[in-house]
Structure 1
Amino acid sequence: VLYTKATLDGFASIALASTYGVGVMFSALPILLYQGAMTLAAGSLRGVVTPELLTQITATGGMLIFGIGVNLLDLTRVRVGNFLPALVFAALLSFTPI
């Protein structure tokens, strides 16, 4: 998956470099540091993330994406940002024995 993303990012950077010039090349280092830090942080959480936690966070994220879709379709106005704490509560509830 990471190789596919890197390939797509490479093609996107070529297209952006034709418009924005050398600045695209200079943005590679901050992006490398940022994505590398996120990868290392995710690797350190490997022992903490259980399948139940992953399921609950995925379900909560799916509902947030559903709210974004409702907003894009102009069906009604859902304030998705107000539901972001639900991700934290989903994580906390996965550690609570029921």
Structure 2
Amino acid sequence: MERGGMAALPPAVVAANADKAGTVAAAQRAGRVSDRHPAGDLLLLVIGLSMLGSAELAPAPDADALADRRRMVTDAVTRMTRPGTARPANTIDDEGGN
């Protein structure tokens, strides 16, 4: 299901997300964060993954399972953002968008 999009977000949230994406872009330019994905997309990926670590948004059967899930999220974000993770040659974009 699709959500309401940017128009459904309060202006303060849109501004905060733009600021965060700008910070990510600056970190990418400085070589502290991978530039494999555009800054705004990377921010959305991290926000989406972070929901998995929330006991309220994604209940876990017990505290150990939640801790495991949070470690998984941390590992995924670390791998996605680690500098030097260049975009692989065999991606969808390289195949004409198919």
Would you call these one fold, judging by a TM-score over 0.5? no
**With CA pairs under 8 Å and 6+ residues apart, which has the higher RCO, 1 or 2?**
2
TM-score of the superposed pair, with normalisation by structure 2: 0.32
TM-score of the superposed pair, with normalisation by structure 1: 0.32
* Bigger-Rg structure (1/2): 1
Q: Please identify which structure carries the higher helix content.
A: 1
